[in-house]
């Protein structure tokens, strides 16, 4: 009997939650832990800067505290890992952030990790995040796909821009594995991998994968 995994989308955009839910679908199994993706109802519509990231922390922590008894592990599904450290103060269950999980998983698939961002303004915060995680000697940098969230449904454009950024990461920074720096990129994982020839890690998949391992192993031996 496995515990549930609760994946929290800390913004209030239910379409994002649906993307995440689809991304992690292959990780569900009949006899495995239930995996629920939930939208943080009072989160902002998007988390695009530090202040928005900070705003979600109190209600995120409240949710995690409330669900702690019935949940085996939590995943916070926003690439800036908002509230992950704070949440660990309110539960003794694992709380996994998709950024740390994505980067630390990527290490196992290539020596030099490059990150794909939506906009150029995401690069500095992401490099600071990698340094805070102590992973800056392997996370070599980021490149922007320069596609606004509103146009992420134009598949041809997105894939073209992603491929361009992927080649920059490989040619300029010698990246050998890529990580998506945004939950909305998931649908392009397989196509991008084919285009650029490098392994591409979806951080939500990486985080949920770790949560499953934790729930399965910690509850049994």
Q: Which of 15, 34, 36, 85 binds a copy of itself (CB under 8 A)?
A: 85
Q: Which of 37, 162, 165, 206 binds a copy of itself (CB under 8 A)?
A: 206
Report the distance separating Cα 72 and Cα 32, nearest Å: 12
**In the complex, what is the shortest distance from the CB of residue 211 to a copy of itself, in angstroms, rounded to a whole number?**
9
**In the complex, what is the shortest distance from the CB of residue 200 to a copy of itself, in angstroms, rounded to a whole number?**
9
Number of residues in contact with a copy of itself, rule: CB under 8 A?
71
Name the 3-class secondary structure at 109: coil
Q: Which of 4, 44, 86, 167 binds a copy of itself (CB under 8 A)?
A: 86
Query: Can you give the C-alpha Rg of the chain in angstroms?
Result: 17
Q: Are 28 and 22 in contact (CB under 8 A)?
A: no
DSSP string, 207-219: HHHHHHHHHHHHT
SS3 content of the chain, % helix, strand, coil (to 5): 50, 15, 35
Residue 38 interacts with a copy of itself (CB under 8 A)? no
Residue 169 interacts with a copy of itself (CB under 8 A)? no
Q: For residues 133-162, which are near a copy of itself according to CB under 8 A?
A: 133-138
**In the complex, what is the shortest distance from the CB of residue 168 to a copy of itself, in angstroms, rounded to a whole number?**
13
């Amino acid at each position: 009997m496995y515990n549930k995994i609760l994946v929290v989308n800390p913004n209030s955009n239910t379409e994002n939650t649906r993307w995440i839910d689809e991304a992690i679908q292959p990780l569900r199994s009949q006899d495995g832990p239930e995996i629920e993706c939930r939208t943080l109802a009072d989160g902002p519509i998007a988390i695009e800067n530090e202040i928005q990231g900070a705003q979600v922390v109190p209600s995120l922590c409240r949710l995690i505290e409330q669900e702690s008894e019935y949940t085996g592990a939590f995943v916070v599904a926003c690439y800036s890992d908002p509230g992950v450290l704070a949440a660990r103060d309110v539960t003794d269950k694992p709380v996994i952030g998709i950024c740390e999980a994505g980067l630390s998983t990527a290490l196992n698939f290539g020596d030099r990790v490059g990150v794909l961002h939506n906009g150029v303004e995401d690069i500095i915060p992401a490099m600071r995040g990698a340094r805070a995680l102590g992973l800056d000697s392997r996370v070599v940098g980021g490149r922007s796909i320069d596609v606004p969230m509103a146009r992420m449904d134009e598949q041809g454009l997105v894939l073209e821009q992603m491929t361009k950024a992927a080649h920059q990461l490989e040619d300029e920074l010698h990246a050998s594995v890529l990580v998506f720096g945004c939950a909305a990129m998931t649908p392009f994982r397989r196509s991008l991998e084919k285009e650029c020839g490098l392994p591409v890690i979806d951080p939500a998949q990486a985080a949920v994968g770790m949560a499953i391992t934790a729930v399965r192993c910690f509850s049994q031996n």
